[in-house]
């Protein structure tokens, strides 16, 4: 496992590991079900585990994605999971996974050491997960984050309205991430996962929403205005020397950036398109805000005082991740 398990500080290595983990863990889950169905469980399964003790640091965002993969594996097998050598985990790794509710999410028992994480200036909220777009659950997370802040900063958080962005991400996941005609490599768990953290020293709030759906680049060609833009996009790709297949994963960074541009300029978009600009507005309302979207292989970043940036990575995130970092 990466010693620095973080999608910001160690993006490429973390994405590469997550891709391998997803294939291994979900592949084993499917194999378990196949052997159970054919009554061949006496055949020895492939043994092995991922050694979390090799991690020196894990971010709340990376922990969310990690837990969602194991959550999907649990949904495939219907079996509870367990940790290995938890006493050897680094304190920061153990405390982060405990705080976000890693054990509860997967119906694991926590070790005695993990029952009470030590006091910290970084307070992480437990995961919330669901399938429906329920505003009440999103609102409770915003309220919980605000309650952790001193009064002036709590008011600034409410003014930034992260609820609007979080709800749009959850709504998009529910409405668009898991189409009925999608072809899944592994059985889908049609959920969204949500968490947040408060850094009391920095006056900073981080909020993250993740789903394991088809991604923005895959859904973009189905948007109402796509037909008018497709020829223009192909000409742009030809000029830049990129693959002219708009749906190619090598164009994902551009695809997300295009989706953000459409969401800002068009007024009669379906809800999926409107919601993307709502996400940017959350970051704009903070003293200093940063919105980061990772979807399939692409990335889009909007940050106060900087031009929007996009990038494409070799390995996919396995869905869509939306992260706000708000300095209040």
pLDDT for the residue 202: 94
Strand partners, 196: 207
- Of residues 277 and 261, more confidence is placed in 277
CB 194 within 8 A of CB 299: no
What CA–CA distance (Å, rounded) separates 237 from 84? 48
Whether the CB-CB separation of 52 and 83 falls below 8 Å is answered with yes
Question: Which of 106-115, 126-135, 192-201 has the lowest average pLDDT?
Answer: 106-115
> Which residues partner with 298 through β-bridges?
295, 312
98 with 143, same domain: the answer is no
Whether residue 65 sits in one domain with residue 210: no
Task: Yes or no: say if 216 and 259 are a contact pair by the CB < 8 Å rule.
Answer: yes
**Helices 271-285 and 252-265, axial angle in degrees (round to 10):** 90
Same domain, 37 and 181: no
Instruction: Based on the fold, state whether residues 98 and 149 are members of the same structural domain.
Output: no
Which pTM was predicted? 0.91
143 in the same domain as 10: no
Do 192 and 214 lie in one domain? The reply is: yes
In this structure, the answer to whether residues 196 and 59 fall within a common structural domain is no
pLDDT of residue 247: 74
Residue that is last in its domain, among 102, 117, 132: 117
240 to each of 40, 41, 232, 233, 251, how far by Cα in Å? 53, 53, 13, 11, 11
Q: Which single residue is written with the structure tokens 């978009």?
A: 269
pLDDT band at 272; cut points 50, 70, 90: very low
**Residue 190 · residue 210 · CB < 8 Å:** no
**132 and 110 co-located in one domain:** no
What pLDDT is attached to residue 225?
A: 61
Residue 75 and residue 176 in one domain: no
Give the percent of the chain with pLDDT over 90: 64
Beta bridge partners of residue 128, listed in sequence order: 194
User: Is residue 116 scored above 70 in pLDDT?
Assistant: no
Express each pLDDT in 52-94 by its tens digit.
999 999 999 999 999 999 999 999 999 888 888 999 999 999 9
pLDDT of 138 above 50: yes
Nearest-angstrom CA–CA distance, 26 and 44: 18
Domain extent at residue 39: 1-117
Tens of pLDDT, residues 211-248: 999 999 898 777 666 666 666 667 766 776 665 566 78
**Is the pLDDT score of 319 beyond 80?**
yes
Angle at which helix 271-285 crosses helix 151-160, to 10 degrees, equals 150
pLDDT band at 271 (very low <50, low <70, confident <90, very high): very low
Q: Which helix (H) or strand (E) holds 328?
A: none
- Choosing from 93, 117, 141, the residue where a domain stops is 117
| Distance (Å, whole) CA 171 – CA 108 | 29
Q: What is the DSSP letter of 320?
A: E
Based on the fold, state whether residues 23 and 147 are members of the same structural domain.
no
Residue given tokens 């090598």 in the structure block? 250
- The total of structural domains in the chain comes to 2
Among residues 94, 117, 140, which one ends one of the domains?
117
pLDDT band at 27 (very low <50, low <70, confident <90, very high): very high
Q: What is the pLDDT of residues 157-168, one digit of tens each?
A: 999 999 999 999
Q: Are residues 134 and 93 in the same domain?
A: no
Backbone angles phi, psi at 113, to 5 degrees: -65, -25
Whether 249 has a pLDDT exceeding 60, the answer reads yes
Looking at the chain, list the stretches that DSSP marks H as alpha helix, in order from N- to C-terminal side: 11-37, 60-77, 91-100, 102-105, 135-147, 151-160, 162-172, 216-219, 226-240, 252-265, 271-285
Cα–Cα dist 100/234, whole Å: 43
Residue written as token pair 């973390």: 14
Residues 280, 151 within the same domain: yes
Q: Kindly report the backbone phi and psi dihedral angles of residue 106, in degrees, each rounded to the nearest multiple of 5, phi listed first.
A: -105, 15
Residue (of 129, 74, 76) closest to 106 by Cα position: 74
Give the Cα separation of 90 and 69 in Å (integer): 21
């Amino acid at each position: 496992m990466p010693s620095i398990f973080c999608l910001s500080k160690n993006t490429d290595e973390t994405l590469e590991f997550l891709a391998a983990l997803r294939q291994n863990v979900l592949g084993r889950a499917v194999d378990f079900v196949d052997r159970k169905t054919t009554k061949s469980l006496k055949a020895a399964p492939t043994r092995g585990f991922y050694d979390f003790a090799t991690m020196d640091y894990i971010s709340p965002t990376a922990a969310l994605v990690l837990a969602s993969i194991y959550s999907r594996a649990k949904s495939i097998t219907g079996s509870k999971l367990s940790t290995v050598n938890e006493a050897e985990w680094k304190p920061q790794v153990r405390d982060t996974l405990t705080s976000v509710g890693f054990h509860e999410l997967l119906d694991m028992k926590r070790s005695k050491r993990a029952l009470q994480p030590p006091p910290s200036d970084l307070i992480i909220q437990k995961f919330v997960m669901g399938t429906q777009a329920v505003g009440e659950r999103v609102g409770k997370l915003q309220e919980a984050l605000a309650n952790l802040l001193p009064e002036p900063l709590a008011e600034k958080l409410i003014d930034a309205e992260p609820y609007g962005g979080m709800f749009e991400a959850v709504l998009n996941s529910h409405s668009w991430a898991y189409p009925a005609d999608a072809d899944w490599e592994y059985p889908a768990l049609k959920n969204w996962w949500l968490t947040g953290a408060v850094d009391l020293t920095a006056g900073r709030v981080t909020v993250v929403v993740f789903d394991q759906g088809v991604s923005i680049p895959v859904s973009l060609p189905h948007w109402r205005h796509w037909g008018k833009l497709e020829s223009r996009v192909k000409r742009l790709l030809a000029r830049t020397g990129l693959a002219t297949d708009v749906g190619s994963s090598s164009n994902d960074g551009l695809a997300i950036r295009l989706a953000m541009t459409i969401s800002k300029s068009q007024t009669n978009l379906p809800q999926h398109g409107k919601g993307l600009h709502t996400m940017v507005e959350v970051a704009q309302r903070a003293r200093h805000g940063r919105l980061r979207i990772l979807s399939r292989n692409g990335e889009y970043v909007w940050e106060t005082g900087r031009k929007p940036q996009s990038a494409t990575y070799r390995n996919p995130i396995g869905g869509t991740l939306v992260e706000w970092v708000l300095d209040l």
